[in-house]
Structure 1
Amino acid sequence: MNKRILLVSTSQATLGASARATGVWFEELTTPYYHFLDAGFSVELASPNGGEVPIDPHSREEAAPSVQRFLVDPLAMAALGSARPLAQVRAEGYAAVFLPGGHGTMWDLPAHPLLAALLSSAWQLGKVISAVCHGPAGLLSARDSSGQPLVAGRRVSAFSNEEEAAAGLTEAMPFLLETRLRELGARYEGGPAFTPYAVRDGRLVTGQNPMSSERVAQLTLEAIGEG
């Protein structure tokens, strides 16, 4: 079994053209990172631009054990500061590609041609693809082997319209992720707002919100093991 997993983060550090800081939601990166690492996988970080991964400042305040562990882990923090640019990444050699969320993903991942090509290639090579919260924004341009949207006809979860409204960011978003997924033909699923919910449809694993990060990681490992 291939023992490498690629985490692809946003490079977007602000909410669009505004000055409001965003980025990846820390727990959505750190919890899967350690689930994968502790299961014996090596984990590599990539992003559209490469270099330092922007972290949503609000997510640094979390008391999640994985966040605290990451902040004092010199190897993890070094990886956070030196993500590989997508131009240098190929799907071969990885067991899975995982997309953590954070509002930054809503700007740079949905139509990124290199990410679309990476995920489409990974899918056709039989890799596992997983994402959590706003991470599924990165799935929007990916295609399956028939040329159809990867999410079409598949069970998918992501940050819900209800949760976006509760966060007060509906108007700030370039689009609503739940709505866009449904428009592409995804069979959207979700649970009560801000409670863990994750779904696996074969090699595609998605989760609704930060609280779903652990379950998404578990289902990703399950899917890899069955591959």
Structure 2
Amino acid sequence: MRMLFKISALLLTLGLGTNTLAKTNQRVLIVVTSHDKLGNTGKKTGFWLPELTHPYYELIKAGIKVDIASPQGGSAPIDMNSFAEKDSYNDRFLKDASLMAKVIRTIPLAKINPKDYAAVIYSGGSGAMWDFANNKEVNRISKELYEMGGVVSAICHGTAALSDIKLSNGKYLIDGKKFAAFTREEEALIEQLDIIPFLLEEKLSQRGGKHIYGKAWSENVIVDERLVTGQNPASAKEATLKVIELIKK
């Protein structure tokens, strides 16, 4: 019996065990960027609102509690271009004092205990390109949660969070896994190729991931074990539904 316990503990440490944590803890952390400057352009950026609202309201509908965090904590910047197209989830946000308060008072990542969550979702928006990559708190939370059997998910530019996460075995979490991310084509279409610090599809491929392309601006969600990625804003809802499926197994 003692040997069986040791083997189970080892499998869980390696991220190969059953999703015990997720089964017992129905709470998800959504992380948004704290960064509001679009490179050196003088323009403002932030997180893409539908990539918060679509996951948030789908999780709430599924009976899952949600916390909102950011690298710095406090008020998180919304990319105002998020409101360019009509979106029922965004309309709901504008009437939701509770969610607005969570955005104004996001939890600093340094205060997050991964044991409190079944999954983490890194929301996109161009700001994430500057403060999700090479972020020690992003790496800590993701590594610990994944190795406890939890789910790691990222949407659009939020996949920048995956660029530096290493597991206890020394390998990148993305290594050997299929993923979707905001593409070179999509960056070109919004004229950001010369602004962003790196290309997601290139960086994550360099880390050993296998990029799965989807049509620009169309839904493309990839699930590989307990890693869920979505290519763009159109993928936010479906990526969240996949996260919900995994944590309710």
Shared fold (TM-score greater than 0.5)? yes
1:101 aligns with 2:113: no
Letter in structure 1 aligned against 2:192: L
Q: 1 CA distance for matches of 2:189 and 2:73? A: 32
1:134 is paired with a residue of what secondary structure?
A: helix
Letter in structure 2 aligned against 1:117: R
Instruction: Report the identity percentage.
Output: 39
Q: 2 CA distance for matches of 1:114 and 1:211? A: 27
Asked if the contact 2:26/2:247 (under 8 Å) is kept, the reply is: no
User: What residue is the counterpart of 2:95 in the other structure?
Assistant: 72
2:245 is paired with a residue of what secondary structure?
A: helix
2:197 is paired with a residue of what secondary structure?
A: coil
Q: 1 CA distance for matches of 2:47 and 2:55? A: 13
Unaligned runs of 5+ in 2: 1-23
| Residue 3 of structure 1, CA deviation | 1.4
Using structure 2 for the length normalisation, give the TM-score.
0.89
User: What residue is the counterpart of 1:44 in the other structure?
Assistant: 67
1:88 to 111, 127, 138: 111
Q: Bigger shift: 6-15 or 136-145?
A: 136-145
- Based on CA coordinates, which of the two structures has the bigger radius of gyration? 2
User: What residue is the counterpart of 2:177 in the other structure?
Assistant: 154
1:192-203 alignment, distance < 5 Å: 192-203=215-226
Letter in structure 2 aligned against 1:209: N
1:204 to 227, 240, 244: 227
User: What residue is the counterpart of 1:217 in the other structure?
Assistant: 240
User: What residue is the counterpart of 1:115 in the other structure?
Assistant: 138
Asked if the contact 1:11/1:23 (under 8 Å) is kept, the reply is: yes
Q: 1 CA distance for matches of 2:169 and 2:88? A: 41
Asked if the contact 2:162/2:204 (under 8 Å) is kept, the reply is: no
1:92 is paired with a residue of what secondary structure?
A: helix
Q: 1 CA distance for matches of 2:62 and 2:186? A: 31
2:56 is paired with a residue of what secondary structure?
A: helix
User: What residue is the counterpart of 1:8 in the other structure?
Assistant: 31
Q: What is the RMSD of the two structures over their aligned residues, measured on CA atoms?
A: 0.9
Q: 1 CA distance for matches of 2:168 and 2:247? A: 19
| Residue 15 of structure 1, CA deviation | 1.0
Q: 2 CA distance for matches of 1:193 and 1:123? A: 29
Structure 1's consecutive aligned runs of 4 or more residues displaced over 3 angstroms after TM superposition are none
Counting matched residue pairs gives 226
More helix by share: 2
Q: 2 CA distance for matches of 1:131 and 1:53? A: 18
Asked if the contact 1:202/1:223 (under 8 Å) is kept, the reply is: no
User: What residue is the counterpart of 2:159 in the other structure?
Assistant: 136
| Residue 60 of structure 1, CA deviation | 2.5
| Residue 114 of structure 1, CA deviation | 1.2
Instruction: Write the deviation string for residues 49-107 of structure 1: whole angstroms up to 9, x where unpaired.
Output: 00011110100233111111111101011111000101111100101000000000000
Using structure 1 for the length normalisation, give the TM-score.
0.97
User: What residue is the counterpart of 1:182 in the other structure?
Assistant: 205
1:172 to 195, 206, 209: 195
2:153 is paired with a residue of what secondary structure?
A: strand
2:171 is paired with a residue of what secondary structure?
A: coil
